[in-house]
Amino acid sequence: MGKPVNPRRVGEKEALAVATTVRGSPYKLNLVAGLIRGKKVGDALNILTFSKKAMAIDVRKVLASAIANAENNHNLDVDALVVKEASVGKALVMKRFTPRARGRASRIIKPFSRIRVVVRELGDEAENA
């Protein structure tokens, strides 16, 4: 009697990639993630490659990982993939202190974020409609 199989967290024609500790605020990352939601993966990679936002590098890495997971682990067609979900959440926050005038100190907040990207394969019925 072994341990039961862990159920899939996404659908049958979907693949997932998660980055758990990305150094940057969730607000800034969510602005970049909003650029690729609902787009085809080729278009999304182009948008992230040529974006001026520094956070686009981390989002592009997670998207590339999701595409690789779809191709290698789930045997999905890369040309038919669409970004179904690109969500950002809070992770840990490092707190540091810096000296200020008259013997005081002030807090420096260094936030980390989580990025979750789900790609989905479009079927033939969606392309014909």
In this prediction, residue 125 has a pLDDT band, given cuts at 50, 70 and 90, of low
What does the pLDDT look like over 86-121, one tens digit per residue?
A: 999 999 999 999 999 999 999 999 999 999 999 999
Superfamily grouping for domain 14-123: Ribosomal protein L22/L17 (3.90.470.10)
Q: Which residues contact 119 (CB under 8 A, 6 or more apart)?
A: 14, 15, 41, 63, 66, 67, 70, 76, 81, 82, 83, 84
Give the model's pLDDT for residue 124.
63
Region 77-94: mean pLDDT is 96
Given phi > 0 = left and psi -120 to 50 = alpha, else beta, which region is 102? left
What separation in angstroms does the CA of 25 have from each of 2, 35, 87, 114?
Answer: 41, 17, 13, 10
> What does pLDDT average to over the chain?
93
Taking Cα atoms as reference points, which of 120, 5, 4, 7 lies closest to residue 69? Answer: 120
